[in-house]
């Protein structure tokens, strides 16, 4: 009898490009439940779990929340082949848009280096107004019309120098949080930085505990936020989610 190959958390995490903590979390919420080694209780992943993880990562890339992914994958009529064909079409569409953005960025770099002349319209090529409106509508649904309008009003009232100072302050906080990760999300250092982040958000709107928790959940799940934080540290978004939970529990 041929024994099916099984992979450890570390092995599957390295192959998938995710953290071991992410796999643990998927197991905890019942999204991806591997078998266990009867000798030591360690998680073991088969080809079936690897295929399910692939689907999870595809759907995350397309912007679905973990709850939505859970519902899709556990549907009785879920068909893997049909899902892959849909993923392919969606990824090809995204690839086309990204190619346009890459071309715009490359032209802008050459422009800034003095190589070509470039007007404002060219600089904005590749950014869809429709997609911007969809993103704004998503935020409105999560946090309400009043909060979004207040954020827009507040931001519009700042000078360019003030806006630059606010953005630099945010970057410094996120970088410091990445440096605090070895101490844990509940550490004094991490919690003081989350308090600074909380205050920083007041530059945009008054953040309630509900909004803070919502942002913590959104950071690792929303493709745009996840990509932003991954540039600072691959696990920063998940770390912030846990640190925010600790902060709100103690507040």
Give 205's pLDDT tier (boundaries 50, 70, 90). Answer: confident
Task: Please give the Cα distance from 58 to 76 (Å, whole number).
Answer: 19
**Taking the model in full, what pTM does it have?**
0.47
231 pLDDT more than 50: yes
> How confident is the model at residue 27, as a pLDDT?
93
Calculate the alpha carbon distances from 40 to 5, 44, 60, 164, 241 in Å: 18, 11, 31, 53, 30
Does residue 140 carry a pLDDT above 60?
A: no
Question: Could you tell me what percent of the chain has a pLDDT over 90?
Answer: 28
Q: Tell me: the pLDDT tens digits for 3-16?
A: 678 899 999 999 98
What does the pLDDT average to over 16-21?
A: 89
Instruction: Please give the pLDDT value at position 203.
Output: 86
Higher pLDDT, 40 or 97: 40
Better pLDDT: 73 or 224 = 73
Tens-digit pLDDT profile for residues 74-89: 888 888 788 878 878 8
Which helix (H) or strand (E) is 43 found in, with range? strand 43-44
39 in the Ramachandran plot: left (φ > 0), alpha (ψ -120 to 50) or beta?
A: alpha
Domains 9-73 and 158-250 share a fold: no
pLDDT (tens digit, 9 = 90+) per residue, 175-190? 999 999 999 999 999 9
Question: What's the CATH code, domain 158-250?
Answer: 1.10.490.50
How confident is residue 97, by pLDDT bands cut at 50, 70 and 90? confident
Q: How high does pLDDT run on average in the chain? A: 80
For the segment 93-102, the average pLDDT, to the nearest whole number, is 72
**Domain extents in the chain:** 9-73, 92-127, 158-250
For residue 248, is pLDDT > 50? yes
pLDDT over 90 at 199, yes or no: yes
Per-residue pLDDT, averaged over 139-153, amounts to 63
> Who has greater pLDDT, 194 or 204?
194
Task: Say which CATH topology domain 9-73 has.
Answer: Multidrug-efflux Transporter Regulator; Chain: A; Domain 2 (1.10.1660)
Neighbouring C-alpha atoms within 13 Å toward the C-beta of 132 = 5
């Amino acid at each position: 009898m041929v024994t099916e190959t099984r992979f450890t958390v570390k092995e599957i995490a390295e192959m998938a490009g995710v953290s071991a903590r992410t796999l643990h979390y998927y197991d905890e919420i019942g999204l991806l439940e591997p078998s266990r080694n009867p000798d030591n209780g360690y998680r073991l992943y088969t080809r079936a779990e690897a295929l399910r993880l692939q689907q999870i990562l595809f759907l995350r890339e397309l912007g679905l929340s973990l709850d939505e992914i859970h519902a899709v994958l556990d549907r009785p009529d879920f068909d893997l082949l049909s899902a892959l064909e849909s993923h392919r079409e969606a990824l090809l569409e995204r690839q086309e848009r990204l190619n346009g953005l890459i071309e715009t960025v490359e032209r802008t770099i050459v422009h800034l280096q003095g190589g070509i002349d470039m007007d404002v319209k060219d600089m904005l090529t590749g950014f869809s107004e429709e997609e911007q409106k969809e993103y704004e509508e998503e935020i409105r649904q999560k946090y309400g019309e009043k909060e979004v309008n207040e954020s827009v009003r507040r931001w519009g009232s700042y000078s360019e120098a003030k806006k630059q100072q606010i953005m630099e302050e945010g970057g410094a906080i996120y970088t410091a949080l990445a440096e605090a990760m070895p101490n844990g999300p509940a550490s004094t250092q991490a919690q003081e930085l989350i308090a600074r982040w909380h205050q920083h958000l007041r530059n945009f709107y008054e953040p309630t505990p509900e909004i803070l928790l919502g942002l913590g959940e959104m950071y690792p799940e929303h493709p745009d936020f996840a990509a932003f934080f991954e540039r600072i540290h691959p696990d920063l978004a998940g770390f912030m989610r846990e640190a925010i939970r600790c902060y709100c529990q103690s507040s």
